[in-house]
Structure 1
Amino acid sequence: MKHFSEDTWEFIQDDRFIQWVLHPDAANAAYWEQWIAAHPHRQDAIEKAKAMVLSLSKVQQPAVDGALLEEVYAVLDKHMMEEQPAMKAAPQVLTAAVKTNFRYRWISAAAAVVAGMVMVSIYLKKNNKPLVAAKIESYIEKDQVIRTNKTPDNQVAYLTDGSTVVLKAGASIQHTTFLQHPKREVYLKGDAFFDIAKDARRPFFVYTPKVAICVLGTSFNVTEEKGGNLTIMVKTGKISVYDLADNKQHGYIVTPNHKIRFNARTAVFVADSLNIADAQNIPAAVNIPPFTFENTPVTAIFDALETAYSIKIHADVNVFGKCMVTTTMTNETFENKLKIICAAINATYKISGGQVYITGKPCS
């Protein structure tokens, strides 16, 4: 058997596996411990995959030998030669195609980092561009936002794409700061109501400890019960749901006014129509108040956006302290809001390292 087998490669491509190795928590640790216990014959592949992922994250690991490097390249070549399938609209079965672009960059990064260990620089054969560790970067803490509702009341979390999430008490979400990848991805713990902005080019994924939810633009409620059971109720649009432990990712379509319940013990989905009690439990459409400012210091506006989106905005008060703005903003994305404000004060903005930097001249 090859040292770097297809069995090992399967784990290295698995988003959930990478999240567990790089950022373990109680939920993903419990899942993988249970999975390993049920598949003891794959322990060796698991350990090799973990070593590779840790190497990619720049955690100190023993040097990777030349034979392993050659096998990485061989598998990489195989994947690069395969035609990348397009994602079908409203699929009944979610295939690996929905993860192709996101993982493809990470596969390329794997070869790049290993090559760096032996001081070799290579380029992608198809487009001659340097290999970029895009996949691994999505798990670096500096590019992640964790938002937790520590109050007893519902709390609205604004996302930069125009989506909103109502976090119930104790719930939390984690995501890349600007949802900048081909897939908009949010990791959820607890109960929440999602109202997702439509973007046909970039599907939106919600990951719970055991279930993934794929949407294009819709609103739905997620309730997590003790023992890992999950109930998802769809208010508008439609979603596709699948069990993360299902390698074939058989999807289940849920349409408006329907719900689906996942039994964590049996890994079985059961779908049904919403009853009156269910409908009453789905939150009403979130009434997002507009960002309305009347002759307001622009630094105060930036503070309001910083609080709403959990994104640090750097604006020098010595430069912009006298700039006053009157505006109303509603459903614009975060960046469009920045453009509106910057246009009003003749300033520019730059996004770097998950933060925003405002530059310009003082107002007279």
Structure 2
Amino acid sequence: MNNQDEQWQQAWQSPDQMGMQKKQILLNSINDRIDNRRRHKKQLFFIGLSAAAAILVAVFIKMPGNSAAITANAWQELASAESSKKIMLEDGSVVWLAPHSTVKVYADFFKKRSTLLTRGTAFFSVAKDAQRPFTIGVNRQRVTVVGTAFTIHKLDSVDLQLTVKEGKVALNNPSGNLLLTAGQQVITTRAKSGVVNRIDPGTADWWLQHQLRLQNIKLEELLNRIETYYQVKLTYGTINKNKKVTLTWDLTISLQDNLTVLNTLTGYNIH
């Protein structure tokens, strides 16, 4: 036991026998110890804070970009080139991309069935799973399904065209929620749903066939299909868009070769 500890013991047992000077010295030692402990805790706190800051800086430096880049890494981007592309998803769903189309799939897709159509046209055949709805984000609109088949065409940075082949599809946008069923199609304007039209369900995935025989199809509808699928804007003079034609559209040959057949049948110069 050191001298100061002996003084502490004396002060505890016989406080009246200790002079005021010694008592003051002991009180000062108490304050010194308290201050030392506080300073030590502050040092530990700042050391820990500095270490945490260093770790955060190191992590940030290793990142390829800012927080937007972190979010982007949560998505896997898949794209098609000059021809259509089939994509098998891990839940059994299938996505067919038309030429020059791009879709993003959530990295942990089995946990969260979420995709984004960022360019072009895609046909979705969604595996049924009532517990995990399948969502597709297009611009700032959202399509939600449980199990169905449909095509989405991204018209521009705001609008879309949704065509349902089978099942039910829910479209959510600033105009509210809209439920579409097989054989229905809607086109949005300024991100708001327009009139729901009745169509042939087969128009949703007509381009998945190698060759398609089109019987008495209106020229206007055919041109719309071509522009949607190939992501092009056709040029033509004055034509009768209500004119009906019958032809075989061959998806194994070039667009120009198919247009040559169409122009031979109609006498027009569509290119």
**TM-score, with structure 1 as normaliser:** 0.36
* Higher share of residues assigned strand: 2
Q: Which has the higher contact order (CA 8 A, sep 6+)?
A: 1
